[in-house]
Amino acid sequence: MIRKLLWPVLAIGVLLIVLPFVFQMPSRTAAGARMMSDFQPIMQPAQVQKTAYYYNDVFTPLGKVAPAINAQTVAKFDQYLKGFGGMQADAQKLVPALAQALHMTPAQVQVYMAKQFPSMSAMLVNLPQMQKDFGGFIAMMRANTAIFGQVNAGLAHYKPLVTTMQGNVADFQSVNSLPSFRLFTWFFVIPGILLVLIAGFGLWEEHLGKLTVRGPHATPA
User: Rounded to a whole number, what is the distance in angstroms from the first to the last CA of the chain?
Assistant: 36
Looking at residue 182, its pLDDT comes to 87
DSSP 150: T
112 CB burial (10 A radius; 0-12, 13-18, 19+): middle
Enumerate residues 6+ apart whose C-beta is below 8 A from 165: 42, 43, 48, 51, 52
Please check the confidence at residue 57 and state whether its pLDDT lies above 50.
Answer: yes
In terms of pLDDT, which residue wins out, 5 or 206? 5
Predicted local distance difference test score (pLDDT) of residue 174: 93
Is the separation of the CB atoms in 66 and 154 below 8 Å?
A: no
Q: What phi and psi, each to the nearest 5 degrees, are found at residue 15?
A: -60, -40
In the prediction, which pLDDT does 211 show? 63
Rounded mean pLDDT, 182-193: 91
At 213 the pLDDT is 58
Q: How many CB atoms lie within 10 A of CB 79?
A: 8
- Mind listing the pLDDT tens digit for each residue in 157-178? 999 999 999 999 999 999 999 8
Q: What Å distances lie between residue 201 and 13, 84, 188, CA to CA?
A: 13, 97, 20
pLDDT greater than 90 at residue 94: no
Half-sphere exposure of 147 (CA within 13 A, CB side): 6
Residue 219: pLDDT band with limits 50, 70, 90: very low
Eight-state DSSP code of residue 178: S
**Cβ–Cβ under 8 Å, residues 148 and 70:** yes
- Look at residue 218 in the predicted model and tell me its pLDDT: 46
Where does residue 20 rank: exposed (0-12), middle (13-18), buried (19+ CB within 10 A)? buried
Are 199 and 9 a contacting pair, CB within 8 Å?
Answer: yes
List pLDDT tens digits, range 132-154. Answer: 998 999 999 999 999 999 999 99
Q: What is the DSSP letter of 181?
A: G
- Find, among 159, 196, 125, 148, the residue nearest to 56 by Cα: 159
Write down the pLDDT at residue 159. 96
| Strand intervals (E) in 20-161 | none
Contact 59, 188 (CB under 8 A): no
Q: Is the pTM of this model over 0.85?
A: no
